[in-house]
Structure 1
Amino acid sequence: MTVLESYRSLAEAQKGRARGAPAYSLYVNRPVGRLLASVAHAIGLTPNQVTLVSAAFTFTGIALLMLVPPSIPLGIVVWLLLAIGYAWDSADGQVARLRGGGSLVGEWLDHIVDSAKLVSLHIAVAIGAYRFFESLEVQWLLVPLLFTVVATVTFFGMILNDLLRARIGAPQAAQAGGSSPVRAMLGIPTDYGTWCFMFVLWGWAPGFMVVYSLLALAAVLYLAAALLVWFRKMKGLEAVA
């Protein structure tokens, strides 16, 4: 199957839009991932190989944050590495759909890599800031540590929601209603793609820390609201079950 044939086939194999999916993930990352998936499928890459390609880009960018002194050019490189890794992350599931469906081990590997990158990214910010932001007061390091906790709990909450829904046969989030343009735009501050882009400021420590802290605050507020919604929905599903 050629790249063009793969690309066309994916139009009929797309999964539903998850409720509340943010704009970058929905309107940029998934289409780019679709193109990468078409190329990967045409050259014979498996979904697990695509996941490993994604991990290679992502963790190279994360390592640079910890190992190389900050600069604007480095920030741009890190942004591109993380963004490309994110697009490949979208591609692995699309390659699986082209091949007729995913596997348990593929889903397991994808979630392991996703959870590792979410923790590693914010830990890398803490390490890089501690090593290279000379005028940074030490209390600012609490921000990436808080961000690590929030990102981890948010990711685990979404995975657990799907796991428990599947346990009682309830529709998954992607089947329970799409993401409206307004919801997608409101989700931009909590979008992983937005987190990737903020690293263009990595060479300007004060500006980066302000933007990073605002995104951390948005993530905290999102998680607080999401936990209330998820709790009510779980109680409702429990009553139905």
Structure 2
Amino acid sequence: MSQPTPRVRETLASLRAAQKSSSGAPAYSRFVNRPIGRVFAAIAFSWGRTPDQVTAVSALFTFAGIAVVALVPPTFASSLLVVALLVLGYALDSADGQLARLRGGGSARGEWLDHMVDATKMATIHLAVLVCWWRFFDIDAALLLVPLGFQVVGSVFFFGVILTDLIRRTGAGGTTSKAAFRTSPLYALLVLPADYGLLILVFATLWVPWLFVVLYTALFAVNALILLASVYRWHRSLRPTGAAHA
């Protein structure tokens, strides 16, 4: 394998010094996805690409992977293809933000586009699982409620993260508690089940229906619990300062 060019190596060094906070980031996103995205961001920068262009390529890979889940009968090869497409899409999703910071900051339109792609991803990936189970799996009809439930959990969690961050940005009150613990590797491992990257890896078992159903259902159950805990924490963190002792 050829070594990175000097320009790419210099860009990588600049990106390492300009990383956003790892507070609250799950293990896959923090230790795997961001480093891969950093490489893509450096390459995109050396090629003169824009963050929006990287976002578009990320969407192309992501939605291609989701389409394979819904439309292609699961096999070992198709399962690996799904994982490869989603991994690339997720890494490029990290790269666009890193590229924006490298270029001196992103635009409002760029942030809007990134969130719209993420929202569409969360609104379709579990529906693709539902279609896959209905078309290709010989399972009890009641189990079709699992991807529907996961769809609700994923959408509400995504909206909660965005809304809470928006309220904090506007200065309406609230801070993140135990910030030091939230940046620790232990915390990153504890919230790993909520990591989109872990969901991607579970798709490697799509060609073994019973195993995929078990792993996907377990992930749904844990994510539902994490959502409940997060809602409680978000609500408490946004209390007005004057109401702290109410």
TM-score, scaled to structure 1: 0.94
- Pairwise CA distance, 1:172: 7.3
Q: Does residue 102 in structure 1 map to residue 92 in structure 2? A: no
1:42 pairs with 39, 43, 46, which one?
Answer: 46
Aligned twin of 1:126: 130
- 1:140 equivalent among 140, 143, 168: 143
Give the Cα–Cα distance (whole angstroms) in 2 for the partners of residues 84 and 225 of structure 1.
30
1:15 to 15, 20, 41: 20
Deviation at 1:215, TM superposition (A): 0.2
1:91 to 74, 91, 95: 95
**Preserved contact between residue 122 and residue 154 of structure 2 (Cα < 8 Å):** yes
Query: Aligned partners of 1:11, 1:229: CA distance in 2, in Å?
Result: 30
Aligned residue in 1 for 2:156: 153
- Alignment partners' CA distance in 1, 2:131 and 2:55: 26
State the distance in 2 between where 1:148 and 1:210 align. Answer: 17
Is the 8 Å Cα contact of residues 66 and 127 (structure 1) preserved in structure 2?
yes
What whole-Å deviation, never above 9, does each CA across 1:142-177 have from its counterpart, x for those lacking one? Answer: 00000000000001001001110111176876xx55
How far is the alpha carbon of 1:107 from its aligned partner? 0.3
- Measured in 1, the distance between the counterparts of 2:40 and 2:134 equals 36
Query: What do residues 2-30 of structure 1 show as CA deviations (whole Å, max 9, x unaligned)?
Result: 21121111122111112x31100000000
Q: Which residue of 1 aligns with 2:66?
A: 62
Supply the distance in 2 between the matched residues of 1:130 and 1:172 (Cα, whole angstroms): 43
Decide whether aligned partners of structure 1 residues 169 and 97 sit closer, same or farther in structure 2, where only a CA change above 3 A counts: farther
Alignment length (residue pairs): 238
Structure 1's unaligned 5+ residue stretches are none
Report whether the alignment pairs 1:6 with 2:16: no
Residue in 2 that maps onto 1:192: 196
Relative to structure 1, is the Cα distance of residues 127 and 14 closer, same or farther in structure 2, using a 3 angstrom cutoff? Answer: same
Tell which deviates more after alignment, 141-150 or 65-74: 65-74
Assess if the C-alpha contact under 8 Å between 1:32 and 1:87 holds in 2. Answer: yes
**Are the equivalent residues in 1 in contact too, given 2:51–2:97 (CA < 8 A)?**
yes
Report the counterpart of residue 162 of structure 1 in structure 2.
165
Q: Which residue of 1 aligns with 2:210?
A: 206
Shift of 1:238: 7.3
Q: Distance in 2 between matches of 1:11 and 1:225?
A: 32
Deviation string for 1:91-145 (max 9, x for gaps)? Answer: 0000001111011000000000001101110000001110111x21111110000
* 3-state SS of paired residue (1:168): coil
Contact 2:18 2:101 in 1 (8 A): yes
SS of match in other structure, 2:18: coil
Any unmatched runs of 5+ in structure 2? Answer: 1-5
Quick one: higher RCO (CA 8 Å, sep 6+), 1 or 2? 1
- The answer on whether the counterparts of 1:190 and 1:219 sit within 8 Å (CA) in structure 2 is yes
- The one of 214, 220, 230 equivalent to 1:216 is 220
Answer yes or no: is the 8 Å Cα contact 2:174–2:239 preserved in 1. Answer: no
Instruction: Say if 1:7 and 1:179 are closer, same or farther in 2 by CA, change over 3 A.
Output: same
Aligned pairs for 1:23-38 within 5 A: 23-38=27-42
Q: Give distance in 2, aligned partners of 1:190 and 1:102.
A: 26
Determine the C-alpha separation between the residues in 1 that align with 2:65 and 2:183: 30
Letter of the structure 1 residue corresponding to residue 188 of structure 2: A
